[in-house]
Amino acid sequence: MLDSRLRPLIDPALNRMGQRVAERKISANAITLTGLGLGFLAAMIIWLGSPIWALIPLLVSRLADGLDGAVARATQKTDFGGYLDIAADFLFYGMVPLAFVLADPSANGAAGAFLLVSFYFNGTSFLGYAILAQKRGHQTTDQGEKSLYYSNGILEGTETIVFFVLLCLFSTYFAPMAWVFGVLCFLTAGLRIYAASHIYSK
């Protein structure tokens, strides 16, 4: 919901940073993998019981997630680069809730499981919609230049990162926040499927 509004504000700065990084011969894939590594580090810190400290690698990881696309645009975009980026994103989105579950299974287990299932369902609806849009030749740049069709929804990348930040700041409230966010993920996926049924049924 917020991605398309933030893109015009952050893309110019990211593109300038991407140009400088590209001049240093650092590849977009290297940035993607660095961001994923920082995501692993953030999840590990959460698991060890220090979610506040996890905010640093978590936020830098998300900066890398935006920067890799800017580097690709400054050099050469590849289909594999886009594939690697989305795979790394989905892995990151799963690692953070899992880390909270592992940190306190008795308090966070059920809510964390529900949240991960909602992520799985929402991600499936997102990728399935992208496949249908690709088959029909549909394109959008509302969320910036992407390697596949990005359908919008109630919850997108920005909302998820804000949610993760809130989890780190108020970790004792993980369970109620996870239940609420999970419901919104299911709603996002349901609305996307509903939209697809009207656009791609003919």
What's at 41, amino acid-wise? L
What's at 10, amino acid-wise? I
Q: How far apart are CA 71 and CA 21, in angstroms?
A: 7
Higher pLDDT, 152 or 57: 57
Look over the chain and give the mean of its residue pLDDT values, rounded to a whole number.
90
Higher pLDDT, 122 or 10: 122
Convert the pLDDT of each residue in 93-142 to its tens digit: 999 999 999 999 999 999 999 999 999 999 999 988 888 888 887 776 65
Q: How far apart are CA 17 and CA 74, in angstroms?
A: 10
Q: Tell me how far the alpha carbon of residue 50 is from its chain's centroid.
A: 22
Q: How far apart are CA 50 and CA 162, in angstroms?
A: 18
For residue 147, what pLDDT band results from cuts at 50, 70 and 90?
Answer: low
pLDDT of 51? 97
Nearest to 165 by CA among 94, 59, 92, 38: 59
Q: Count structural domains, the chain.
A: 1
pLDDT of 84? 94
Give the sign of the dihedral formed by CA 39, CA 40, CA 45, CA 46.
positive
Q: Which two tokens stand for residue 183?
A: 């419901």
Say if residues 54 and 169 touch (Cβ distance below 8 Å): no
Domain range for 144: 3-199
Which residues lie below 8 Å from residue 148, measured CB to CB, with a gap of 6+? 82, 86, 127, 130, 134
pLDDT of 142? 54
Q: What is the CATH number of the domain that holds 7?
A: 1.20.120.1760
Convert the pLDDT of each residue in 61-90 to its tens digit: 999 998 998 998 898 888 899 899 999 999
Q: How far apart are CA 7 and CA 17, in angstroms?
A: 15
